[in-house]
Every structure is written in C-alpha cells, then in structure tokens.
C-alpha cells in the first residue's frame, strides 16, 4: 500500500498543523461511454481536504458533482489517477479493503435519505454499527446520543413514514456518522426540503460536523449554505477549481 507523495502547504485548522490531507484526489479522470462517443466528466481533477475542513461543491447539474463524490467515497474507481485516504492510495486496493475503508473512514448523506422503512430511527442508526462489529448495547447508546444531539430524542422509536422530511434527513445524518468516520460526503442533503426545513437540517449538520472535527464535502446548489463553509469549489472543464 503506497504512501502519498505530494507537495502541500501546511494548513492550520484551529491552531493544529495538518501536513497531509485526509482526502487527496490526484490527477483523477473519469470517462463514460455514450454509444460510440466518450463523455469526459473529470480530466485530471485534484482536490485536497484536511481534517476539520468543510468544502462546498457547487456546480451545474451534469458537471460531475455526484461522480466526484462517488470517487472520493470509493464507490467508483477512477479511470486514471488515485484517491488517497489518510495518505494511502486506494485505486488498486482489493474491493474488500476498499469496502472496509469506506465503512470505517467515510460517511455518506444523500438527497434522498435512503432509510430502511421497516426499522425505527434508532434501529436505522444502530444497524451500521452492528455491521462494523460494535455490541448492540453500545450501538443503541451511541445511536440514541446522536439522535438526541440532532433534536430527535422524542422520535427514536418512530419509523421513517412517521417522520417529517427534515427529521428523516437528520436520522440519515446520524446514521452517516454513527461509525465515527473521518470524512463525511453529502450529495444535495437539503435538496428535497423547503427553505426553512433545509436551514434547520443544515444547522444540525453543521453543528455535528463542528463538534466532531469531520472533514466534509457537501455538493449543493444552495449558495447561502456554501457561503458558510470553509471553502467553495466547482467543476470546470473536468477540473476542480477553487472559488472566491
């Protein structure tokens, strides 16, 4: 397993120097075939993300936001380049090891919450912890604490159909961080919510991220949300470009 070799400036987050990014996408390319044509989504894209840092990914539909998140989260393989997690290359790892890293190091929140409808809010947050190997009692305790922190203490035993859209998305956020990942990737997490509910969900999301020191990338069309994050980037001509 190779170590990352990349020249980076030292970034200081809250007084702590971080020399190696927790996530580094190096010269990443991703192409898709459309009939006889080839669609170039990413063409040598680079992105570094440090612990405790939040990045807003803002770009038009079809620019490649979801593709970039899938690659960063090891859900897809790059056609060229590599994705480093904690300084270690992942592109050529066996699928089992990529799955292990994804389960332990990375949390995902999607536009649609993808909760299991037959399980309660508490059970939805317990399940990924059991899969990782945590005991049931400890998993239930942690799930209840996370849901309580997100304002859902009174909704632990409600199934998704009994929850509002904002409550469902907060359960999804709790599930994403249940295994204490170091990276949190969110793809339009408030895209299906009205403005007021979206603001409430983002506030809860941001509070949890700040408290835990997670490194976060959020793909969003909401510029108000993007403005409150540490950095803003877009995808232009297949490259990741920093915005002011």
- Cα–Cα distance, 138 to 202 (Å, whole number): 27
pLDDT, residue 18, reads 52
Please state, rounded to an integer, the average pLDDT across all residues of the chain: 88
Does 7 map to a domain? no
Whether residue 12 has pLDDT greater than 80: no
Does 71 map to a domain? yes
Domain span at 150 = 23-242
Beta pairing, strands 11-13 & 16-18: antiparallel
pLDDT, residue 6, reads 34
Q: What is the pLDDT of residues 126-174, one digit of tens each?
A: 999 999 899 999 999 999 999 999 899 999 999 999 999 999 999 999 9
Does 226 map to a domain? yes
Whether residue 219 has pLDDT greater than 80: yes
116: alpha, beta or left, given left = phi > 0 and alpha = psi -120 to 50?
beta
CATH number of the CATH domain containing 212: 3.40.50.300
Confidence of residue 46 (pLDDT cuts 50, 70, 90): very high
Does 92 map to a domain? yes
Residues 14, 106, 140, 209: what is their CA dihedral angle, to the nearest 10 degrees? 30
Does 5 map to a domain? no
- CB neighbour list of residue 71: distance below 8 Å, 6 or more residues apart: 25, 28, 30, 42, 77, 78, 83
- Cα–Cα distance, 228 to 205 (Å, whole number): 12
Does 139 map to a domain? yes
Does 14 map to a domain? no
The pTM of the full predicted model, rounded to 2 decimals, is 0.85
Give how many domains the chain has, as a whole number. Answer: 1
Confidence of residue 202 (pLDDT cuts 50, 70, 90): confident
Length of the chain: 244
Does 186 map to a domain? yes
Q: CA distances (Å), 177 to each of 129, 207, 211, 234, in order? A: 10, 13, 12, 25
Nearest-Å Rg of the Cα atoms of the chain is 18
Whether residue 9 has pLDDT greater than 80: no
Q: What is the pLDDT of residues 50-86, one digit of tens each?
A: 999 999 999 888 889 999 999 999 999 999 999 999 9
């Amino acid at each position: 397993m190779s170590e990352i070799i990349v020249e980076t400036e030292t970034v200081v987050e809250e007084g702590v120097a971080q020399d190696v990014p927790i996530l580094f996408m190096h010269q990443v390319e991703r192409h898709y075939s459309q009939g006889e044509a080839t669609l170039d989504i990413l063409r040598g894209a680079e992105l570094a993300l440090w612990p405790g840092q939040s990045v807003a990914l803002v770009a038009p539909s079809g620019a490649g936001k979801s593709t970039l998140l899938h690659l960063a989260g090891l859900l897809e393989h790059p056609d060229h380049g590599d994705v480093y997690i904690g300084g270690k290359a992942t592109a050529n790892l066996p699928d089992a090891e990529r799955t292990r890293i994804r389960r332990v190091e990375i949390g995902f929140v999607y536009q649609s919450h993808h909760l299991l409808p037959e399980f309660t809010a508490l059970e939805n947050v317990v399940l990924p912890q059991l899969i990782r190997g945590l005991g049931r009692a400890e998993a239930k305790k942690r799930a209840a604490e996370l849901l309580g922190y997100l304002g859902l203490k009174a909704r632990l035993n409600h199934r998704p159909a009994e929850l509002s859209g904002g409550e469902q998305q907060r359960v999804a956020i709790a599930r994403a961080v249940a295994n204490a990942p170091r990276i949190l990737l969110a793809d339009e997490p408030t895209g299906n919510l009205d403005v007021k509910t979206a603001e409430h969900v983002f506030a809860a999301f941001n509070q949890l991220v700040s408290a835990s020191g997670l490194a976060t990338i959020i793909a969003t069309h909401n510029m108000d949300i993007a403005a409150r994050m540490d950095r803003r980037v877009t995808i232009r001509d297949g490259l990741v470009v920093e915005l002011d």
